């Protein structure tokens, strides 16, 4: 079994009801892997509990999750030459990261947009500055119909980005708007969010296996 597929198989073993999502999770992994491999970034957004999930995902990607991510020897040597002592510490403790930006964390920007223009544009406006062709917008939205998420998808398309959505089973208005949609087998918001966590943990592990040795 490929190392990148092991987290998916373990996910489906623990949550057999997610078997109906196997294909979409695999497609999501390919979308995110290709984005990062080309030097682009993932941009995340969501509301409420899904906002917290965006922070969680970014945290797993920006530093080591289940694997060590040591710097290359050339990078370590560069740091050592900068400053004795500090350089050695940085060389040993810094890890490689995967590029992920959580739009939910920019409080000043979001409140400025909400106050000055329109509260439904808190994510879309940020994408006008942060989104770039080749990036992937990752939207966590159980109902699939939040206006600020739909506006973000429109802005992402304008910027040449692709879109991954995680929703409840129906998919709401996001169905048909995403390049890849993972509609988990639940309709209740809290239940859908409970499924989103193991799904995105599996995706983070799959990405880590794709880019870093055991």
Where helices occur in the chain by DSSP H, the ranges are 6-14, 22-37, 49-62, 73-82, 86-93, 107-116, 124-130, 147-158, 189-211
Query: Residue 117 pLDDT more than 70?
Result: yes
Query: Residue 1 pLDDT more than 60?
Result: no
Interatomic CA distance for residues 201 and 185, integer angstroms? 17
Write down the pLDDT at residue 84: 86
In this predicted model, what pLDDT tens digit does every residue of 27-69 receive, in sequence order? 999 999 999 999 999 999 999 999 999 999 999 999 999 999 9
Which of 55, 11, 2 shows the shortest CA–CA distance to 209? 2
Write down the pLDDT at residue 89: 96
Query: Residue 7 pLDDT more than 60?
Result: yes
Write down the pLDDT at residue 214: 77
For residue 81, the tally of other CB atoms under 10 A from its CB is: 10
Residue 11 — pLDDT band, cuts 50, 70, 90?
very high
Nearby residues of 131 by Cβ (< 8 Å), 6 or more positions away: 43, 137, 155, 156, 159, 160, 161
Nearby residues of 47 by Cβ (< 8 Å), 6 or more positions away: 141, 146, 148, 149
Query: Residue 106 pLDDT more than 90?
Result: yes
Could you tell me which CATH number the domain at 6-68+96-211 has? 3.40.50.10490
In this predicted model, what pLDDT tens digit does every residue of 175-206 receive, in sequence order? 999 999 999 999 999 999 999 999 999 999 99
Write down the pLDDT at residue 73: 97
In this predicted model, what pLDDT tens digit does every residue of 126-177 receive, in sequence order? 999 999 999 999 999 999 999 999 999 999 999 999 999 999 999 999 999 9
Query: Residue 109 pLDDT more than 90?
Result: yes
Nearby residues of 93 by Cβ (< 8 Å), 6 or more positions away: none
Write down the pLDDT at residue 13: 98
Range 106-127 average pLDDT: 97
Domain regions of the chain by residue span: 6-68+96-211
Which of 104, 122, 102 shows the shortest CA–CA distance to 112? 122
């Amino acid at each position: 079994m490929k190392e990148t597929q092991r987290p998916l198989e373990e996910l489906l073993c623990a949550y057999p009801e997610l078997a109906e999502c196997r294909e979409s999770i695999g497609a999501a992994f390919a979308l995110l892997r290709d984005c990062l491999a080309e030097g682009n970034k993932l941009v995340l957004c969501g509301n409420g509990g899904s906002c917290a999930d965006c922070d969680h995902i970014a945290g797993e990607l920006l530093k080591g999750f289940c694997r060590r991510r040591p710097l290359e020897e050339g990078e370590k040597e560069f740091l050592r030459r900068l400053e004795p002592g500090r350089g050695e510490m940085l060389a040993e403790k810094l890890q490689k990261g995967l590029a992920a930006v959580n739009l939910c964390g920019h409080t000043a920007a979001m409140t400025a947009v909400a106050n000055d223009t329109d509260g439904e544009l808190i994510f879309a406006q940020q994408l006008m500055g942060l989104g770039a062709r080749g990036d992937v917008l990752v939207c966590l939205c159980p109902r699939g119909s939040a206006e600020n998420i739909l506006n973000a998808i429109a802005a992402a398309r304008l910027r040449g980005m692709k879109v991954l959505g995680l929703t409840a089973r129906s998919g709401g208005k996001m169905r048909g708007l995403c390049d890849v949609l993972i509609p988990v087998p639940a309709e209740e918001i809290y239940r859908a969010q409970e499924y989103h966590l193991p799904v995105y943990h599996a995706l983070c592990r799959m990405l880590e296996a794709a880019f870093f040795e055991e």
